[in-house]
Structure 1
Amino acid sequence: MKNQIRRFDRSGSFFPTFFNFVNDDVFNPFVNGDLPATNVSENEKAFSIELSVPGFNKEDIKIEIEKEILRISAESKVENEEKDDNNKILRREFKQSSFIRSFTIPENIDTENISASQVNGILQITLPKQMKTIEDKVKKIAIS
């Protein structure tokens, strides 16, 4: 089975809806669509999330899991200042960026082995699936 992009369906279909996007807009200053572009794909072994995060260093980014919520947040602050020979400020510019993206993850994620990397402005998060067989979910009850 190839990697495939999964469309998200909140209608409660039989298949697990991976990454229901949790609405953080109340707390997010980037309500007008300035959230990082996100790709989510799936194969037999894992789900993969890619976020476009140019301008953020890996030290600026925080990835957390609380219960079934995966939260990715980042904050970056850059200040530039030009002074003349008398140490008088001629120009001061600053830029502050932040975002929060949250996803509901399915129960079959191996949360102990989630990995992340950042290369060329792309944050790649790999969420491996737990490889349990159906027998693992069957509980046998002894008759006394």
Structure 2
Amino acid sequence: MTTLVNVPKNRGLANTNSGLNLPIWSKWIDEMFTNDLPSVFTSNFNTGISLPKVNIKESADAFIVEMAVPGLKKSDFHIDLDNQLLSISTEMKDENENNQDNYTRREFGYASFKRSFTLPESVNDSKIDASYKDGILSIHLPKKEEAKQKPARSIKIS
């Protein structure tokens, strides 16, 4: 059996039947993305924001949604309630312009996220409130009176 393709340890493909010194594709692609690229390519793709993680806690009288989103301001958030759908979103735009000598360099950045949750019928939507402190967005979702847990009690037999 003839070996047409040899797979070296670095997992790139090299043609063993050719006398040409062609680049190993995986190495070439790795170098293309790890070499210093102009910031116009890197700044728009690495904005530092991703879909934030959410903790949801339930107590006897409420649900609490906590979202870790450091580096933002209260005014950056949009919290909407449409029927039973709670949506939390933000949108940030960044535009930098440097004028030096005879050239202008402009860089644009954009980052956003949106998380949506369907609320249970037990939430009293008229009393929902939110706060933002130390990078944590907290949304308090109180339960309706009839949905709150009642303490355990003993029933006497007559």
Report the TM-score, using the length of structure 2 for normalisation. 0.56
2:64 matches 1:48: yes
Q: Helix, strand or coil: the match of 1:93?
A: strand
More helix, by proportion: 2
Alignment RMSD, CA only? 2.1
2:65 maps to a residue whose letter is: I
Unpaired segments ≥5 residues, structure 2 = 1-49, 149-158
More strand, by proportion: 1
Question: Is the 8 Å Cα contact of residues 40 and 49 (structure 1) preserved in structure 2?
Answer: yes
Counterpart residue number, 2:123: 109
Which structure is higher in RCO with an 8 Å CA cutoff and minimum separation 6? 1
- Deviation, structure 1 residue 55: 3.4
Question: Distance in 2 between the 1:131 and 1:116 partners?
Answer: 20
Count, aligned residues: 99
2:132 matches 1:118: yes
Q: Helix, strand or coil: the match of 1:106?
A: coil
Q: Helix, strand or coil: the match of 2:75?
A: helix
Question: Is the 8 Å Cα contact of residues 87 and 116 (structure 2) preserved in structure 1?
Answer: yes
2:110 matches 1:96: yes
Unpaired segments ≥5 residues, structure 1 = 1-33, 135-144
